[in-house]
Amino acid sequence: MKPHKITLLGKIDSTGQVRTDNAQMLNFSKMWENKRITVTIEIEQPGSSGALKGLYYGKLVPEFRQALWDNGERMTEAKTEAYLRSLCPVLWNESVRPGTGEYEASLREINDLDNSEFVAYFEHLEEIYAELFGASFVDLKQRIRELENELKEQ
């Protein structure tokens, strides 16, 4: 059976040209002569800072877990963390299958986020915390600002 999908790794050079393994692409495309294709290019992010991850796993997830626990929801930290990710639109990858028009969705992992996405995620969680528990992460908000400033200086 012929493969219907290919993943190529490459790089965009300083002139804007895409550099990838052309031989692999040629071999794949020979199997599908005169067929229509959809090409998706995904830019790899350098990742999020360790400080933001530390704040997330060390403070935010445990505080949410405790607040949920106090309201009768019994979850482990791992389940709390997965639950929090599922609440935020920033953490969902969604795409439409061109042929069927159906949506495909998958939940992103924390390691997939860059710093700006992480901050947007924190802000979303702060809104949820305020709505669910009538409280805010005032000290967390200040710490995020400090970390953002540190990252800008680097």
Q: What are phi and psi of 147, to 5 degrees?
A: -65, -40
Find, among 66, 153, 55, 65, the residue nearest to 113 by Cα: 55
Question: Residues of the chain with pLDDT > 90: what percent?
Answer: 12
Whether residue 91 has pLDDT greater than 70: yes
What are the structural domain ranges in the chain?
A: 1-44, 50-153
In angstroms, rounded to a whole number, what is the distance separating the alpha carbons of residues 12 and 23?
17
Question: Residues of the chain with pLDDT > 70: what percent?
Answer: 81
45-79 tens-digit pLDDT: 565 677 788 778 877 888 888 888 888 889 999 99
Per-state percent for the chain, helix, strand, coil, to nearest 5: 55, 10, 35
Instruction: Determine the pLDDT at residue 146.
Output: 67
Whether residue 28 has pLDDT greater than 90: no
